[in-house]
Structure 1
Amino acid sequence: MTVKVHVKNNRWAEGSFPNTPEGEEVFTITRERFDTAQTQHPDVVGKLDPFIDWDTDNWQNSMADAEVLLTWNMPTENLTQVAPNLKWIHCIGAGVEHMLPMDWLPDSVTLTNNKGVHAAKAGEFGLMAILMLHSHMPAIVTNQRKGLYESLYCSPIAGKTVVVLGTGSLGGSGAKMIKPLGVNVIGVNRSGRDVEGCDRCVPTAQLDEVLPLADYLLIATPDTPETRGLLDRRRLDLMKPTAGIINIGREAVMDYDALCDKLDAGSLGGAILDVFDPEPIAADSRLWDTKNLIITPHVSADDGDAYIPLTLGLFFQNMELFLAGKPLLNPIDPKLGY
């Protein structure tokens, strides 16, 4: 017996995923990529029957006997009837907010995500962004646009305080990379659990206490009912007027309009934003013209060369567990949304 695996790729479409034409190649799971990755996991070779599809071209027919779905998104209506044999869905993204609320997910189906695949790249981006803020790069870029040559100096970053909001694989990797530079790192997570790379961690309920301490704030939380609107105008007002902010989590976590107001007023030092809703950003968005703001097009955690190989490596590791009847890595709690 073989396990039927349906692989749902998405063609690029404006306002959807992938969010740019370039992303389509990066995030597409071809049969060649699937087979190449599978050879690294001999325990699953010959035990799978993959069907590689685009969008919903063959959704109904293929899902009728599929046990596993590998995808970014999918039609959720009547899933039990459409896919009566389905047991496991693996999302190729770390965030699964696009699947909320998860009242459509049958109790018999396990949903897993790509947590961990992005860690190395996201950590490097976080380190880079913090150092860019420390070196006044958002202000320097703003000055460049104006044709203004002004010396903006800084000292080494040792002794500064970085608050990491969301200490999962992305934020945790950033914390570990910045800590060796002599920075004081405070982690903020749901429970206040200790995390490698952080000098101390506090629960989210104590966020107001640590925001005033931050020279730089790295936001790396998923979009969940608990995190939406977490960085509102009131909390932004708690921060030092010289502080810098980086968001590699999701836009829904922060009030971008309030952020723009503070940047334009000079009551924050600068910001680097990598995540937006919708993506791409609208041409008339005020973000484009906000001073001391650098925009990156959702590239902080995605490796253009290795994203799919890394994804498939995790998928086949989980497939080994699936075939053995063992619990899977990265299970999503439908109630929490992560």
Structure 2
Amino acid sequence: MVMKVHVKNNRWAPGSFPNTPEGEEVFTITQERFDTALAKFSDMADQLSVKVDWDTDNFESSMQDAEVLLTWDLPVDNLAEIAPKLRWIHCIGAGVEHMLPMTWLPEGVTLTNNKGVHAAKAGEFGMMAVLMLHSHIPAIMTNQRKRVYDSLYASPIAGKTLVVLGTGSLGGAAAQKVQKLGVHVIGVNRSGRAVEGCDEVVTTEQLDTVLPRADYLFIATPDTPETRGLMNRQRLDLMKPGAGIINIGREAVMDYDALCDKLEDGTIGGAILDVFDPEPVPEESRLWETPNLILTPHVSADDGDAYIPLTLDLFFRNMELFLAGKPLLNPIQPDLGY
């Protein structure tokens, strides 16, 4: 029996995903890319059929007999009726906050995400960003725009302290890279479980006790009901004068307005932000003019050359488990949102 997979690609549009023409090219699953990845799993080739589609052009008609959906997002109204055979949805992103709340998820349908695909790129970006903050690059770039030539010196980074808020695949990869530079790394996660690359780990409830120790804060948490607003103004006030902040998680985790205030008054030394809501950042946003702040256009964890091959490799490894009736990798817990 042949199992049908529906692939829902999205055309780029401002305020949605992907939000640039470049992003559309990076994140599109074409028939050619699908077939190339499937060739590595040749035993499954005669067990699958695929419908590669755009947006909702043929969504309702195709989903009538599809058992698997590979997508970023989907129309959720009456999904059980539109897709009566659906058993598994794989989201090509790590964050699934755009699908919350998940009351729409039909009973018996498993949702998985792309956790792990982003790790290598996120680790390198994290190390780069920490070193940029340590070397005063945000301030140097602000000076450059003002035509100010000041010598801002830095010593080697060994001995500094990095707090990693969110120690999943993204934060964990950054922790491992930065720890090798002689930095003391403190991980913060929901359970307090030990994490490779962290010298110590505390629970999220203990966040206030470690923020004053941080020379640098690296945020890599998803947007969930538990993390939304976690780094508010009061917690920013706990950080030592001149500390640096990086956010590759989601904007909802941090009060950006409060961060801008603290960058302007100098109590935060510098920041590098990669995630925003909405994206692209509106032209009128104060973020563009805030001193000692670098904005990167949501590129911290996405491999521009290999994102879809890596995604499809994970998808087909999961498909092997799915066909064998075994538990899937990266299952999402609907009540927690990750």
TM-score bracket for the superposition, by shorter chain length? over 0.9
Q: SS of 1:164's equivalent?
A: strand
Q: Which residue of 2 aligns with 1:196?
A: 196
Q: CA deviation at 1:300?
A: 0.1
Q: Which residue of 2 aligns with 1:320?
A: 320
Q: CA deviation at 1:241?
A: 1.3
Unpaired stretches in structure 2, ≥5 consecutive residues = none
- Looking at structure 1, the residues matched to 278 and 38 of structure 2 have their Cα atoms a distance apart, in angstroms, of 35
Q: CA deviation at 1:148?
A: 0.2
Q: SS of 2:41's equivalent?
A: coil
Counterparts of residues 16-27 of structure 1 (less than 5 Å): 16-27=16-27
- Looking at structure 1, the residues matched to 27 and 266 of structure 2 have their Cα atoms a distance apart, in angstroms, of 39
Q: TM-score, normalised to structure 2's length?
A: 1.00
Q: Spell out, residue by residue over 1:237-296, the C-alpha distance to the aligned partner (whole angstroms, 9 max, x if none).
A: 000111000000000000000000000011101000000000000000000000000000
Amino acid at match of 2:294: I
Counterparts of residues 57-96 of structure 1 (less than 5 Å): 57-96=57-96
Q: CA deviation at 1:111?
A: 0.0
Q: Which residue of 1 aligns with 2:36?
A: 36
Q: CA deviation at 1:43?
A: 2.6
Q: CA deviation at 1:42?
A: 2.1
Q: Spell out, residue by residue over 1:153-195, the C-alpha distance to the aligned partner (whole angstroms, 9 max, x if none).
A: 0100000000000000000000000111110000000010000
Amino acid at match of 1:217: L
Is 1:205 the counterpart of 2:205? The answer is: yes
**After the TM superposition, which parts of structure 1 deviate over 4 Å for at least 4 consecutive aligned residues?**
none
Amino acid at match of 1:52: V
- Looking at structure 1, the residues matched to 244 and 200 of structure 2 have their Cα atoms a distance apart, in angstroms, of 20
Q: Which residue of 2 aligns with 1:119?
A: 119
- Looking at structure 1, the residues matched to 164 and 60 of structure 2 have their Cα atoms a distance apart, in angstroms, of 43
Which stretch of the first structure deviates more once superposed, 232-241 or 39-48? 39-48
- Looking at structure 1, the residues matched to 60 and 131 of structure 2 have their Cα atoms a distance apart, in angstroms, of 49
- Looking at structure 1, the residues matched to 49 and 310 of structure 2 have their Cα atoms a distance apart, in angstroms, of 21
- Looking at structure 2, the residues matched to 46 and 310 of structure 1 have their Cα atoms a distance apart, in angstroms, of 22
Counterparts of residues 186-265 of structure 1 (less than 5 Å): 186-265=186-265
- Looking at structure 1, the residues matched to 209 and 60 of structure 2 have their Cα atoms a distance apart, in angstroms, of 52
8 Å Cα contact 1:43/1:320 also seen in 2: no
Amino acid at match of 1:136: H
Q: Which residue of 2 aligns with 1:181?
A: 181
Q: SS of 1:114's equivalent?
A: coil
Aligned residue pair count: 338
Amino acid at match of 1:150: D
Amino acid at match of 2:129: A
Q: Which residue of 2 aligns with 1:302?
A: 302
- Looking at structure 1, the residues matched to 294 and 200 of structure 2 have their Cα atoms a distance apart, in angstroms, of 29
- Looking at structure 2, the residues matched to 10 and 191 of structure 1 have their Cα atoms a distance apart, in angstroms, of 35
Q: CA deviation at 1:58?
A: 0.2
Q: TM-score, normalised to structure 1's length?
A: 1.00
Q: Which residue of 2 aligns with 1:108?
A: 108
Is 1:97 the counterpart of 2:75? The answer is: no
Amino acid at match of 2:166: G
Unpaired stretches in structure 1, ≥5 consecutive residues = none
RMSD between aligned residues: 0.4
Q: Which residue of 2 aligns with 1:46?
A: 46
Q: CA deviation at 1:41?
A: 1.2
Question: Kindly, what percent of the aligned residue pairs are identical?
Answer: 77
- Looking at structure 1, the residues matched to 181 and 323 of structure 2 have their Cα atoms a distance apart, in angstroms, of 44
